[in-house]
Copies of this chain bind each other. A is one copy, B any other.
Amino acid sequence: MKKLRMAIVGLGSRGGGMLHAFYSKQKDIEILYTCDEYEDRAKDNAQFVKEQMGNDCRWTLDYKEVLADKDVEAVVVYTSWETHIKIAIDCMLAGKITGMEVGGAYSVEECWELVRTYERTKTPIMFLENCCYDRSELLALKMARAGMFGEIVHCSGAYSHDLRNEITHGKENRHYRLRNYLVRNGENYPTHELGPIAKILDINRGNRMLSLVSMASKSAGLEAYVNANKDTINPELIGKKWAQGDIVTTVIKCANGETILLKLDTTIPGFYNRDFTVRGTEGSYFQAFNGYLSGEDHSFNPVGFIRENLDSAEKYKDMLPSQWLNITEEDKKTGHGGMDGFMCRQFIDRAKSGEEFALDVYDAASWMVITALSEQSIAMGGAPVAIPDFTSGEWTRRQRKDVL
Report the bound CA distance from A265 to B229 in whole Å.
41
CB distance B272 to A306 under 8 Å?
A: yes
CB distance A154 to B307 under 8 Å?
A: no
A373-389 interface (Cβ within 8 A of B): 381-384
A101-123 interface (Cβ within 8 A of B): none
Partner of A224, one of B151, B249, B258: B151
A216-271 interface (Cβ within 8 A of B): 216-218, 220-221, 224-225, 229, 245-247, 249, 251, 253, 256-259, 261, 263, 265, 268-271
A37 within 8 Å of B by Cβ? no
CB distance B305 to A247 under 8 Å?
A: no
A284 within 8 Å of B by Cβ? yes
Contacts of A261 in B (CB 8 A): 249, 263
Partner of A259, one of B215, B284, B294: B215
> Could you say which of A4-12, A51-59, A66-74, A275-283 contacts chain B?
A275-283
A299 within 8 Å of B by Cβ? yes
CB distance A259 to B247 under 8 Å?
A: yes
Total copies of this chain within the assembly: 2
In the complex, the chain B residue whose C-beta lies closest to that of A384 is: B382
CB distance B215 to A381 under 8 Å?
A: no
CB distance A304 to B161 under 8 Å?
A: yes
Partner of A211, one of B150, B245, B303, B381: B381
Residues of A at the B interface (CB closer than 8 Å) are: 150-151, 153-154, 160-166, 211-213, 215-218, 220-221, 224-225, 229, 245-247, 249, 251, 253, 256-259, 261, 263, 265, 268-273, 279-284, 288, 293-301, 303-307, 309-310, 381-384
